[in-house]
Amino acid sequence: MLIGDVARRSGVSTRMLRHYDSLGLVRPTGRTSGGYREYSDEDVRRLFQVESLRSLGLSLRQITQALQDPTCTPAGLVSDLISWTEERLDRERQLLDRLRTVAAAAPTGWPDVLRITELVTGLNSPSAALRQRSALAPAEEVRIPAELLAGAVLAEADPNVAGALRWALGRAGGDALATMTSGVHSENVDIRRRAIQAVAELAGDEATAVLVDALDDPDSTVRRHAALALGAQGEVAAVPALVDLVVEGGHDVEAAECLGALSDDPARAEKIVSALAVELAGPTADSAARSRLTQAILELPRTVAQPVLRRLSRDDDPVVAWTAAAYLEDEDATSR
């Protein structure tokens, strides 16, 4: 079964299937004569196992351990997951208890509850400056719940305040990803944009998986944030979206730099230069887009860039031809 058929039948996107492949989590058994991934029935069963475990709240690392480590027992892993969930629920119950206490009595003598109350009040202020100061205020000895900051990030429209909240969220620790993931799937495009920016600043396999899913978002801004973040992490799943950014313009320089960094691996470099060359030869690329694509090729290792640039130095488009020829002349001068 080809990757497109698996995606349609399983509901797992092709980008996520490629991500699973890159992690070694679900690898197709074979390849067609044309090089396309071909999944066996056993591969599909493993995919459904992965998705089932993920639905229980296991991270991709835990799922890998569960499926590959013979010493990892289901009972032990589920027990750990129950303990983690109970701890999270306990933290939420503690927060609820503190808030109920504040609602029923004066906060004097409870600096932890007072700090949280001050933060909530500040974040709900109509003044962007006050909201920003509240996010940046020192937490002293009080742990600010990550869920509270995550909710504020999703609601914040001011870019400066949102940046301060993301900074505070990174320092707070805790489980912010669950809130952000729900934001990434919101019907409100503004919430999705805020959420994906926050996820891009979080570390770990789960955050990466959310970013990979976001590459298929219908909104170009969401896709851009996801692609640039994944490119900076060295994730090959971002390559098609990064090439699209070069074609579209606006953020082509950052996208080209990411493609250049990803090209450190020779196998990836060949795929990247091929993808750029296909767009160059495509019927939809106008002169400006072809110029940007040529500039992106300049970011790649010269061993893969030079053959394409030699062809482009004879291109009918004078800007493309001049750019390629100038690069080749500089290379020749340097090598003398």
Name the domain boundary from 187, 203, 219.
203
* The total number of structural domains that make up the chain: 2
DSSP code of 283? T
192 within some domain: yes
DSSP code of 299? T
124 and 182 together in one domain: yes
198 within some domain: yes
CATH assignment at residue 37:
1.10.1660.10
Select the highest-mean-pLDDT range: 7-21, 32-46, 128-142: 7-21
Considering only CA atoms, which of 297, 295, 180, 14 is closest in space to residue 26? Answer: 14
Mean pLDDT of the residues in the chain = 82
Q: If you write DSSP's letter for every residue of 38-97 in order, what string do you get? A: E--HHHHHHHHHHHHHHHTT--HHHHHHHHH-TT--HHHHHHHHHHHHHHHHHHHHHHHH
Helix (H, G, I), strand (E, B) or coil at 102: helix
58 and 120 together in one domain: no
Task: Label residue 174 by pLDDT band (50, 70, 90).
Answer: low
Task: Label residue 101 by pLDDT band (50, 70, 90).
Answer: very low
226 within some domain: no
131 within some domain: yes
Phi, psi of 141 (to 5 degrees): -100, 5
Rounded Cα–Cα distance for residues 109 and 193 (Å): 40
Contacts of 226 (CB under 8 A, 6+ apart): 196, 200, 211, 212, 214, 215, 217, 238, 241
Average pLDDT of span 265-287: 85
Task: Label residue 324 by pLDDT band (50, 70, 90).
Answer: confident
pLDDT digits (tens, 9 = 90+) for 192-239: 999 999 999 887 888 899 999 999 999 999 999 999 999 998 888 999
State residue 30's pLDDT score.
81
State residue 114's pLDDT score.
67
State residue 216's pLDDT score.
92
51 and 111 together in one domain: no
Name the domain boundary from 169, 203, 237.
203
Select the highest-mean-pLDDT range: 164-178, 196-210, 218-232, 271-285: 218-232
- Residue identified by tokens 């080749």 is 328
State residue 107's pLDDT score.
42
Rounded Cα–Cα distance for residues 192 and 85 (Å): 25
65 and 118 together in one domain: no
DSSP code of 2? B
Name the domain boundary from 20, 54, 72.
72
312 within some domain: no
State residue 187's pLDDT score.
92
- Domain of residue 139 covers 106-203
141 within some domain: yes
121 and 174 together in one domain: yes
Q: If you write DSSP's letter for every residue of 131-183 in order, what string do you get? A: HHHHHHS--TTPPPPHHHHHHHHHH---HHHHHHHHHHHHHH-SS-HHHHHHH
39 and 122 together in one domain: no
Rounded Cα–Cα distance for residues 247 and 280 (Å): 9
